[in-house]
Amino acid sequence: MEGIELKISNPQKHFSQISVNNIKTEEEKKKLAQASKQFESLLTSLMLKSMTQTTEGLFGDNSYGGDSFESIFHLELANKISEGNGLGLANMIYKNLTGEDLPTEFRFSDLRIRPSRQINYSDQTNDIGAIRPSSESLNRLSRYENIIEEAAERYGLNKNLIKSVILAESAAREDAISSANAKGLMQIIDSTAEYLGIRNVWNPKENIFGGSKYLAELLERFNGDLRLALAGYNAGPANVEKYNGIPPFDETKSYVKRVIGYLNHFESNL
């Protein structure tokens, strides 16, 4: 791809003449969604390459193996940028060809985040008793069973962990909002929603997928330590790292115990 120059001042005009065609089946839409995300990632990589050409590359003009390392770096960074909303090109292509927005599961395209499949939660939670949620909250939670299962599969999480976080965060109320302006079922603040690529934080599927993605990232960040991941979800990962453990905040300590208590309830009823 040497010598490729990108001059894109208005990327939308390149897709404005594409009209809705006969892509109707779910299988066709799935293939189109995947192709759109791959195209966006490739284009992002080319843009990064073009941006670094004038500075002799990231590793210098005469570095040993620099070209290979730089290509890998561009592709990896492009993949990260294309997660969530990315540049918006994937959604633009998909919408022009189907008349619909790119499905949530393809907007959250980080399939590498699968840290907790091998985690044995019982080893980390056996010192905390089970907490039974209220019947009302369980009834509300049951409405989102299918979404929770999808999110658990995508991010490699125990579905009961997602349920437990939802109960601790919002008692399964999709319209919940906190004094800190955290919103929805998994109580996501605006800055985190933007980072996660959530367009409508009040949409249950987007909220659950986004919160699950964040939880999976925290489990990976803290090497599968459930308590630290939960503390990071509540108080922020920077505070966990600052205090080298669960921060000394009463709210956070209570939150971790409550989530684990709910988790033990669900696990004991399997």
* Residue 246 to residue 237: CA distance in whole angstroms: 10
Burial zone of 243 (CB within 10 Å; 0-12 exposed, 13-18 middle, 19+ buried): middle
Q: Which residues pair with 183 in a beta bridge?
A: 177, 188
Q: Tell me, what amino acid is at 165? A: V
* Residue 164 to residue 172: CA distance in whole angstroms: 10
* Residue 125 to residue 257: CA distance in whole angstroms: 9
Burial zone of 184 (CB within 10 Å; 0-12 exposed, 13-18 middle, 19+ buried): buried
Q: Cα 247–232–122 angle (5° rounding)?
A: 95
Give me the active site residues, please: 169
* Residue 69 to residue 98: CA distance in whole angstroms: 37
